[in-house]
Amino acid sequence: MLLYITGNEHKVATANDHLKPFGVSIEGRKVDGIVELQLDDVIEISKSKATQAFEKVQQPLIVSDSGWMFTALNGFPGSYMASVNRWFTAQDFLNLMNGKENREVVLRECVTYIDKDQVKTFVWDNKGLVLEEASGEGTPLDQIVTFMEDKKTIAKCENEGILRIPQNELWNDVGKWLKENNIS
């Protein structure tokens, strides 16, 4: 059983769903005292969290991190989204995008595996679109971004019980690598 250092049960369930076909089982564990560095790069944040967690539990494990990058805003807010989402309203984000032709937003997801011998990081970018107006109940960003052809926001989809972010190859890449390296 591989540890997934997170307190988010949904993340653990998602990882287990995707890794089961590769013969990998995940157990979620919250580990106190991990400091999330304030860096621009989600990959470096993920590696740092993995290293800190490994020092505490001394077992092979994975961690994940993500960041949202608005192409027209030169990648802002990136890894700072959690903080920015507390400060900004959906309208604040829309104001920043006012007059921008390129409304692409990228959700960069990162999973890092670590054991006593190695650190391996997997990255996947999901491309979405910042809409012209907010809808649905959720975080400010979830109210203005869509990954859906019908242009329903993440919040609107979540409110309707629809998978809000497209499944990607991230967990498949993780699963293939874990299987190839006999890690279960």
CB burial class (10 A; 0-12, 13-18, 19+) of residue 16? Answer: middle
Dist. CA 15–CA 6, nearest whole Å: 11
pTM here?
A: 0.87
- What is the tens place of the pLDDT at every residue in 154-170? 888 887 877 666 666 89
Q: Which of 17, 40, 41, 65 is catalytic?
A: 65
With a cut of 80, say whether residue 38 has pLDDT above it. Answer: no
Upper half-sphere CA count for residue 140 (Cβ side, 13 Å): 17
- What is the tens place of the pLDDT at every residue in 104-117? 999 999 999 999 99
Domain extent for 122: 2-180
Share of the chain above pLDDT 90, in %: 62
Amino acid (one-letter) located at 50: A
Residues paired with residue 26 on neighbouring β-strands, in sequence order: 2
Instruction: Assign residue 135 the CATH number of its domain.
Output: 3.90.950.10
Q: Is 65 a catalytic residue?
A: yes
Share of the chain above pLDDT 70, in %: 97
Work out how many domains the chain is built from and give that number.
Answer: 1
> What pLDDT band is residue 80 in, cutting at 50, 70 and 90?
confident
Cβ–Cβ under 8 Å, residues 162 and 149? no
